[in-house]
Structure 1
Amino acid sequence: MLARIAVLLLAVLCTVATVRSAECFHLPGCDTLLYADIPAAEYAGNSTVAAVSSNTVDTVKKRDGFVRRIIRYFGSSNVDRTFEKKIDFSFAGGPSFSKNTSLGIGLLAAGLYRVDRTDSVTVPSDVSLFVNASITGFYAVGVSGNTLFDRGNQRVVYTLMFSSAPSSFWGIGYDAGRYNPESTYSEKRYTIEASYLHRIISKLYVGGVFSFDYVRGLKFTQPAYLNGEKERYTATGIGAVVEFDSRDFIPNPYRGVYVSLKEQFFPKGLGNCERSLWRTTFTADYYQRLWKGGILASDLHAIFNSEGTPWPMLARMGGSQRMRGYYLGRYTDNDMITFQVELRQRIWRRIGCTVWGGAGNVFPSIDRFDWSHTLPNYGVGLRWEFKKQVNVRMDYGMGKNTSGFMLSINEAF
């Protein structure tokens, strides 16, 4: 849910091309450009010059309006200040959009920090806080991030979120998503997931994972689509994770390999599911710099759930990370495999673009996998560097009889 929650300051995109102009001002009656930050101390010995300098600064300050302050703020937002500050936060707010939540408004705080500011080798940790609401009645609040410490030998990855959203539901299985009439319901969801990882050798990490989910569906227009299941489920998961990670920066890698295998167990006694459940999640990503400003990225992702997994815990295709352009949850089943390849290109200064293609399949079990149910996915996107190597993105994704715009923070994978 987190990656599809879109937050974007529209005014920023409109003024990116003039960001550099925030550094200086043109004074009326003067043929030169003067910086507003004039060090008056240098003119302390010359009262006339100091007075002129003071008047110049006052004039500039008077003309430093709201729009110019925004330009100046975002003009330096991508400068790395993690060695100067305990945490380098930038804030943005404005319109947001996704295929699931429609048009809305959101507030975002994105921060970079170093647990040990004497460590110049380890990449910064990151954190994102968000509040989002849309015209459909959707609202969500949450926080997510990656904290690296002990010179990168240990890390904590976390997501905490609450959301309430009017949603659509087509039932379970490929045929249901393809042919069933759309039904609606209201979903409330609490999600907590945290992983602790410890490096054992080179780029290899092992650790544990904890998760908690509470999901409640209300006002189903087609309750028969649930196949007799309950409308409310609670599940607590514990498990283990093994990762190989050589990425240079987690939110937006330029090079490296990431392979993750996560196994979770959901005991019957720690929820209201009718049986104990398990889930296997596998991810393999590859990033390679092709030429100046050009990055090739690929992503293979798979989810396998045990038989009897309730409807809110099933694999759901779509959203803002994988199979972009598909409504999240239209194609839902026990298992899912998706693959995508993306070319990312820096165009000018902090502006970039991307093009991608991929495919995905949902199925009830491995022995019932059907190649003919594989769905295509492709699209294009625009990027703007909000903070150092942290992008705001606008994607337009397409698929089989579907398409949609998405605004979000950080790369899709």
Structure 2
Amino acid sequence: MKKTLALLLAATCSLPTYAEDKEPTTYERYQAWLNQMLLELGADGQFNPEKGVDWSVMPGPFYTPEKQFGVGISAVGLYKPDLDDTVTQPSSVTLNGFGSINGAYGLSFSNTNYLAHDKYRLFIDAELMDSPDVFYGIGMDAGLNNGRVDYTRRTYAASVKGLLQVMSYTYVGLGVEFSKNEASKAEIDDPDKPWIGHTLAEFPDKQFSAGVTMSLVYDSRDFALNASQGHLLKLDYTHFSQALGSDHEFDRVALNYSDYYSPQSFDGVIAWQALLEANFGDVSWDQMALLGGASALRGYEQGHYRDRNMLLSQVEYRQPLSGRHGMVYWVGAGTLSNQLDELGQEKWLTTVGVGYRFEIKERVNLRLDMGFGNGESGFYFAINEAF
């Protein structure tokens, strides 16, 4: 992390002007070389639609107890489907990949298209991962008290969603999603620790889920990847059906409200988000609502806490610094429940954190976040904001 920060900070300093009779120092040569390297990676802080897809690629190291040491690579490409449209925000494609010394690997793809002056929107996402994971059982009590199950999870997932504008900032849409999770090599980390809610024998080895989604969206954000003003209100209803091949039949309702405000009295953006997820029916263990990870309650390991219903809220201050640098500070809280009417009665998990931002494309940031939870912490390297 320190090395990555040092590289970014050094690269964005102004290059010195040398006197004709003075040779540049070793540090100045290194600074010039590093600046050139970042330019070749596309991290120029600009967006040129004439390039077609204007790419930036950023590598970075990471460490987690499960994956051990590894290297992640994030790439983002901005483009304009219609070069004559100077009003609609750029479309984007984001690629993330990682590999670690214990053989874990993962690839993800996310593509957002704003078409016909934003009358139509198309979202395509896919993921492939083979990596160590954790399972503590279902429910807040299980996450707080159970021993950890270590296992290897292989995931194949894909989704497609299309939206049609029906009023100003308002869209309706349909989508489909598929996922397959394979669990293997499951072992209880501490056999002497009590384990409630499930037994290891109930831990299934394969789950396939397939669903159809209906969406209603109000989106007045000025730039989805890094909004400085506007609101997002998104309601998704997904039916997972055995008729589509799903192993379990259940329904999911997800509500996302995000608000972005740029104060007049000081620089920066205040961003606030509230998420609600409710699952009804025969929900499999891998489709439960989750707390934790790089976006929802940073500081907790994704997979540690899961249940049918989830509620969380987070607020952060995005502070611009000189040049292309910035900082982010956040607080958040979330909880889970088995029954929807019991949501909020279980223990709440809290998080605080700080992050560094470096603008690799116009209004597109590389983010390095450090989150702290109740006895846990997490470090995140990614492109684009958490929400």
| Cα distance in 1 for residues equivalent to 2:377 and 2:4 | 25
Residue in structure 1 matching 2:178, options 212, 221, 224: 212
Q: Secondary structure at the match of 1:119?
A: coil
CA RMSD of aligned residues (A): 2.6
Change (3 A) 1:373 1:355: same
- Aligned partner of 1:120: which letter? T
Q: Secondary structure at the match of 1:220?
A: strand
TM-score by length of 2: 0.89
The answer to whether the aligner puts 1:316 opposite 2:293 as a matched pair is: no
> Are 1:245 and 1:259, in contact at CA under 8 Å, matched by a contact in 2?
yes
1:119, distance to aligned residue in structure 2 (A): 0.8
Residue in structure 1 matching 2:358, options 384, 389, 396: 384
| Cα distance in 1 for residues equivalent to 2:64 and 2:44 | 25
> Are 1:147 and 1:156, in contact at CA under 8 Å, matched by a contact in 2?
yes
Aligned to 2:192: none
1:107, distance to aligned residue in structure 2 (A): 2.4
| Cα distance in 1 for residues equivalent to 2:217 and 2:66 | 31
| Cα distance in 1 for residues equivalent to 2:168 and 2:246 | 41
> Are 2:11 and 2:35, in contact at CA under 8 Å, matched by a contact in 1?
no
The answer to whether the aligner puts 1:335 opposite 2:301 as a matched pair is: no
1:28, distance to aligned residue in structure 2 (A): 4.1
Aligned to 1:55: none
Residue in structure 1 matching 2:21, options 14, 29, 34: 29
Change (3 A) 1:225 1:136: farther
Pairing of 1:333-372 with structure 2 (within 5 A): 333-372=307-346
Change (3 A) 1:323 1:25: same
The answer to whether the aligner puts 1:108 opposite 2:74 as a matched pair is: yes
| Cα distance in 2 for residues equivalent to 1:227 and 1:285 | 40
Residue in structure 2 matching 1:140, options 101, 106, 116: 106
> Are 1:162 and 1:190, in contact at CA under 8 Å, matched by a contact in 2?
yes
% identity of equivalent residues:
29
Change (3 A) 1:63 1:247: closer
Q: Secondary structure at the match of 2:273?
A: strand
1:71, distance to aligned residue in structure 2 (A): 4.5
Change (3 A) 1:72 1:87: closer
Q: Which of structures 1 and 2 has the bigger CA Rg?
A: 1
| Cα distance in 2 for residues equivalent to 1:319 and 1:283 | 17
| Cα distance in 2 for residues equivalent to 1:69 and 1:9 | 21
Change (3 A) 1:85 1:376: same
1:378, distance to aligned residue in structure 2 (A): 1.3
Aligned to 1:42: none
Which deviations, in whole Å up to 9, do the C-alpha atoms of 1:239-275 show, x marking residues without a partner? 20000000011111011000000001111132352x4
> Are 2:74 and 2:382, in contact at CA under 8 Å, matched by a contact in 1?
no
Residue in structure 1 matching 2:272, options 271, 275, 298: 298
1:202, distance to aligned residue in structure 2 (A): 0.4
Aligned to 2:252: 279
| Cα distance in 1 for residues equivalent to 2:101 and 2:278 | 34
1:358, distance to aligned residue in structure 2 (A): 1.2
Residue in structure 2 matching 1:79, options 39, 46, 57: 46
1:67, distance to aligned residue in structure 2 (A): 3.1
Which deviations, in whole Å up to 9, do the C-alpha atoms of 1:179-236 show, x marking residues without a partner? 0111200000011012101111100000001100000100111495457253201111
Aligned to 1:45: none
> Are 1:100 and 1:319, in contact at CA under 8 Å, matched by a contact in 2?
no
Pairing of 1:68-217 with structure 2 (within 5 A): 68-73=35-40, 77-82=44-49, 84-97=50-63, 101-217=67-183
| Cα distance in 1 for residues equivalent to 2:111 and 2:2 | 21
Q: Secondary structure at the match of 2:298?
A: coil
The size of the alignment, in residue pairs, is 374
Note the residue ranges of structure 2 that are not aligned, 5 or more in a row: 189-194
> Are 2:238 and 2:252, in contact at CA under 8 Å, matched by a contact in 1?
yes
Q: Secondary structure at the match of 2:228?
A: coil
Q: Secondary structure at the match of 1:253?
A: coil
- Aligned partner of 2:36: which letter? R
| Cα distance in 2 for residues equivalent to 1:178 and 1:321 | 21
Aligned to 2:214: 240
The answer to whether the aligner puts 1:265 opposite 2:248 as a matched pair is: no
Q: Secondary structure at the match of 1:141?
A: strand
Aligned to 1:51: none
> Are 2:133 and 2:152, in contact at CA under 8 Å, matched by a contact in 1?
yes
Larger RCO, structure (CA 8 Å, separation 6 or more): 1
1:377, distance to aligned residue in structure 2 (A): 1.4
> Are 1:95 and 1:104, in contact at CA under 8 Å, matched by a contact in 2?
yes
> Are 2:43 and 2:57, in contact at CA under 8 Å, matched by a contact in 1?
no
- Aligned partner of 1:257: which letter? H
| Cα distance in 2 for residues equivalent to 1:166 and 1:229 | 15
Aligned to 2:191: none
1:382, distance to aligned residue in structure 2 (A): 1.1
Q: Secondary structure at the match of 1:115?
A: coil
Residue in structure 1 matching 2:378, options 404, 408, 411: 404
Note the residue ranges of structure 1 that are not aligned, 5 or more in a row: 1-7, 34-61
Q: Secondary structure at the match of 2:341?
A: helix
TM-score by length of 1: 0.84
1:73, distance to aligned residue in structure 2 (A): 3.7
Q: Secondary structure at the match of 1:373?
A: coil
Answer with 219-228 or 363-372: which moved more. Answer: 219-228
